[in-house]
């Protein structure tokens, strides 16, 4: 929001939350397409962590009893566990840029 006084340099969401303007006076904060895009962005950002957690859960509950595949599965899980924080860190600039583009 722009202007003089209490509304100067206040984001729309903060203005609605602090009762500076009514919700009907401002456009919808997140359209449906924007909300879906943001959800997909966060899904892409954290899916590696989800798959690593599911992989370790499956290995510890089911995979350790299989003779050949348990060692292959363990090696893949260890490599993925070591690579995921690096990939997460390297993708942070792209994630922040896309999030800034999708933030109203």
- Per-residue model confidence (pLDDT) at position 62: 84
Q: Whole-angstrom Cα distance, residue 75 to residue 61? A: 16
Mean pLDDT of the chain: 83
Q: Is 88 helix (H, G, I), strand (E, B) or coil?
A: helix
Higher per-residue confidence, 87 vs 71: 87
Q: Whole-angstrom Cα distance, residue 52 to residue 85? A: 11
Q: Whole-angstrom Cα distance, residue 41 to residue 44? A: 5
pTM: 0.64
Q: What is the pLDDT of residues 42-67, one digit of tens each?
A: 999 999 999 999 999 999 888 777 77
- Per-residue model confidence (pLDDT) at position 104: 67
Q: What is the pLDDT of residues 13-51, one digit of tens each?
A: 777 778 777 767 776 666 778 889 989 999 999 999 999
Longest C-alpha distance within the chain, in Å?
A: 72
DSSP 64: G
User: Encoding tokens for residue 71?
Assistant: 């060692």
Q: Whole-angstrom Cα distance, residue 87 to residue 92? A: 9
Q: Whole-angstrom Cα distance, residue 84 to residue 76? A: 12
């Amino acid at each position: 929001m722009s202007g003089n006084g209490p509304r100067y340099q206040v984001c729309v969401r903060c203005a609605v939350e602090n009762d500076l303007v009514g919700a009907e006076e401002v456009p919808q904060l997140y359209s449906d397409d924007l909300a879906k895009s943001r959800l997909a962005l966060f899904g892409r950002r954290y899916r590696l962590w989800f798959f690593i957690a599911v992989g370790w859960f499956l290995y510890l509950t089911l995979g350790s009893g299989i003779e050949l595949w348990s060692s292959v599965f363990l090696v893949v899980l260890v490599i993925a566990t070591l690579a995921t924080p690096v990939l997460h860190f390297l993708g942070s600039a792209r994630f922040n840029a896309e999030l800034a583009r999708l933030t109203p």
